[in-house]
Amino acid sequence: MDKHKLSQLRYLKSEIAMLKEQIGDIQVHTTSDSVKASQSSFPYIEYTAKIRGVDVQEYARKLRRRQRRLDRRVKELMDLVEEIEEYINTIDDSLTRQILSLRYVNGLTWEQVAASIGGGNTADSVRKVAERFLMRN
């Protein structure tokens, strides 16, 4: 696991949220056509009428295809997030695990990580712990 993959975690989570929103926002598209019509009473004069509506079969087909594609992408992203979180949870050193979890899973700044951990740690010290760990592994 490298620093780049860990830093992608925050963006993966936001992309998952965006895709889920897109799934919910799939719009109905209307189609229009013109047909011949006549007046309902005598003299029954013929005219062209424009009609609008939803092409249900086409819409359902596109909806299913897009839904499958978005669901597949969400699953891929969720698998990546899970892989990264599992990696962090397998780290033996508690301090390093906390630092990486707070920084990459929770998305805190180095200053916030240092404040959360306490113990006189500074932003630079927790950043260095993370960098050294990532260099070794």
Give 93-133 pLDDT, tens digit per residue.
999 999 999 999 999 999 999 999 999 999 999 999 999 99
- Residue 33 host element (H or E): strand 30-38
Contact 67, 26 (CB under 8 A): yes
| Domain that includes residue 97, residue range | 92-137
Q: Taking the model in full, what pTM does it have? A: 0.65
- Residue 30 identity (one-letter amino acid): T
Residue 73 token pair = 């992408």
Distance CA 30, CA 85 (A): 43
Residue 32, pLDDT score: 81
136 inside domain: yes
Residue 27, pLDDT score: 65
Q: What's the number of domains the chain is made of?
A: 1
Residue 39, pLDDT score: 83
98 inside domain: yes
116 inside domain: yes
Give 47-100 pLDDT, tens digit per residue.
898 988 877 887 788 888 888 988 999 999 999 999 999 999 999 999 999 999
Alpha helices in 29-93 (DSSP H): 56-89
